[in-house]
Amino acid sequence: MAMVNGFFQCNGATERNDELVEISTKKYLLIFGYGTDADGNGYTFRKYYDHKPTRKELREDIDALVNAQTDSRILTGFVWNGKPVYLSTENQSNFKTAYDIARDTDGANLPIRFKLGEDADGAPIYHTFTKFEPLQDFILKASNFVNDTLNEGWREKDGVDYTALGV
């Protein structure tokens, strides 16, 4: 993941260990979160400060990082029937509108073709919905994915013990 709001990923972690480390009288290091990459290697996020950050500043920074991770996962983390789906806000709206019309008109707008995303080489991936049931399956799974991803982000932010960080 690219640097977000000054955070960088540090590999080699084996567990979560949120802490604010005083490196010198005017330098602090925030160590936050825990994740694993595709190969199962653990990592944390870190950010340097040239002052002792306040609770408000830490909360704002952590929220910004978690929000960026959540947004990125929603955009590119959903896979439906083996196909990667790009869930931009515009695409979510287009998919939902097509579903609503199909539901309300007994499928009068079907078949309908969507560009779901792109493969690893950048080639477009399309899917044509010819029946209501697969479209409904797609919409329900996409909606659940977005909701689950948002809830993961909220749990991450709500789980930070700022008292343990010494602020």
The number of folded domains in the chain is 2
Is the peptide bond preceding residue 111 cis, with omega within 30 degrees of 0?
A: yes
3-55 pLDDT, tens per residue?
A: 678 999 999 999 998 999 999 999 999 999 999 988 999 999 999 999 999 99
147 and 114 fall within a common domain: yes
41-52 pLDDT, tens per residue?
A: 999 999 999 999
Contact (CB, 8 A) for 66 and 157: yes
43 and 99 fall within a common domain: no
Domain end (from 53, 75, 92): 53
Among 55-64, 90-99, 156-165, where is mean pLDDT lowest?
156-165
- In the chain, the percentage of residues whose pLDDT exceeds 90 is 90
Beta strands per DSSP E along 12-82 = 19-24, 27-36, 42-49, 78-80
Domain that holds residue 67: 54-158
Dihedral sign for Cα atoms in the order 44, 8, 89, 159: positive
Q: 166 lies in a domain?
A: no
Q: Classify 122 as helix, strand or coil.
A: coil
79 and 139 fall within a common domain: yes
Q: 167 lies in a domain?
A: no
Q: 11 lies in a domain?
A: yes
79 and 134 fall within a common domain: yes
pTM (predicted TM-score) = 0.89
The C-alpha atoms of residue 117 and residue 85 are separated, in whole angstroms, by 5
